[in-house]
Structure 1
């Protein structure tokens, strides 16, 4: 193989690796999956992974970054574009619900495998997580001015946790029914009305997919 051939990379290969890793790690746990498993599921030889990731830990870090970065992008977009504090908060809820349902395996890895992150990456990701939570808390404080910061913090974590709880079981609701009910529950905790369902596009275009 020439040096030119070695430099040519499938632009979709990295995405296939990450998608395969998320699915396998969610199913078997981080310690139950090796690079050969990921490569086989992604349709490439295990050694091909090294063109994109130094090792399995690097894949896990990339998965965590993907979750937090997409949530932050969506939250910041909601803060910029929503009309009024209550609708902003409802948009944050919808974004979190949408991402959790659309990226179930990725979110399961995020919740289950933080103990396997290198400490330096764990600290960096905790900073990003705090920034995301701060965006929610600022929005809630604008809506519920009577609440002290400690209660705002409790409510935000409770609302997000109620959405994440759907990752721990299978249910018999349709995707749309589940999304609507999770929004209703989380918005109820925060004291705001969910956005109208006519504004929902759970499987919408790229901009929607980036939200929360």
Structure 2
């Protein structure tokens, strides 16, 4: 009976913090964004997350596993945002606007995570790097397919150039602090990205 109570109490303690893996990933992103993932140790990540260093290993077998999970989560977030944009839009122009705005919001809300994504994706093991690049290409294709009907004057290569210019404009904010409020920065990034795409931003009140 005592043993049964002890095991029950132990299971209850483990269930007490279901968000621990998310805290570990967020801590790793904050540390790595500042100085590079290769300089960050597991004990440091645990300390940043408020967890004993050895506790990190209960969720991630290695630092590499943390990086894989972190970049996978970042790509999944972009994919989910793109899917929602395409599902809810009533026109290509609105879909493009939603794609741009979602990317800008991800860049600002998950700045550290996206910074690590751009700096460290090339360090992944081959299998994971290839998988991530396939997903990146598919994500870009969603933008290209949405832009194409709106810019029929552009060749396929020019459409891709415009999309990469637009996403690059948004990504630029990862590497410097503008001093603008998040609201104004989002508005400016969305406008500048549309400038790269050569499309007027969607508005529910065009007049």
Question: Is TM (by shorter chain) over 0.5?
Answer: yes
Correspondences of 1:10-89 after superposition (within 5 Å): 10-89=17-96
Answer whether contact 1:90 1:193 (CA < 8 A) is retained.
Answer: no
Q: In the alignment, is residue 186 of structure 1 matched against residue 193 of structure 2?
A: yes
Correspondences of 1:1-212 after superposition (within 5 Å): 5=10, 8-9=14-15, 10-196=17-203
Answer whether contact 1:90 1:192 (CA < 8 A) is retained.
Answer: no
Q: Secondary structure at the match of 1:113?
A: helix
TM-score by length of 2: 0.90
Answer whether contact 2:166 2:197 (CA < 8 A) is retained.
Answer: yes
Q: CA deviation at 1:80?
A: 1.2
| Counterpart Cα distance in 2 of 1:107 and 1:163 | 11
CA deviations 1:154-184 (Å, max 9, x no partner) are 0001100000001111112111111110011
Please say which structure displays the higher CA radius of gyration: 2
Q: Secondary structure at the match of 1:51?
A: coil
| Counterpart Cα distance in 2 of 1:76 and 1:85 | 14
Greater mean alpha carbon deviation, residues 152-161 or residues 142-151: 142-151
Q: CA deviation at 1:115?
A: 2.6
Q: CA deviation at 1:126?
A: 0.5
Answer whether contact 1:74 1:95 (CA < 8 A) is retained.
Answer: yes
Answer whether contact 2:93 2:201 (CA < 8 A) is retained.
Answer: no
Unaligned runs of 5+ in 1: 199-212
Q: CA deviation at 1:60?
A: 0.4
Q: CA deviation at 1:196?
A: 4.6
Q: CA deviation at 1:25?
A: 0.6
Higher relative contact order (CA 8 A, sep 6+): 1
Greater mean alpha carbon deviation, residues 32-41 or residues 74-83: 74-83
| Counterpart Cα distance in 2 of 1:59 and 1:26 | 14
| Counterpart Cα distance in 2 of 1:120 and 1:168 | 28
Give the 3 Å change call, closer, same or farther, for CA 194–132 of structure 1 in structure 2: same
Q: Secondary structure at the match of 2:97?
A: helix
Answer whether contact 2:93 2:202 (CA < 8 A) is retained.
Answer: no
Q: CA deviation at 1:195?
A: 4.1
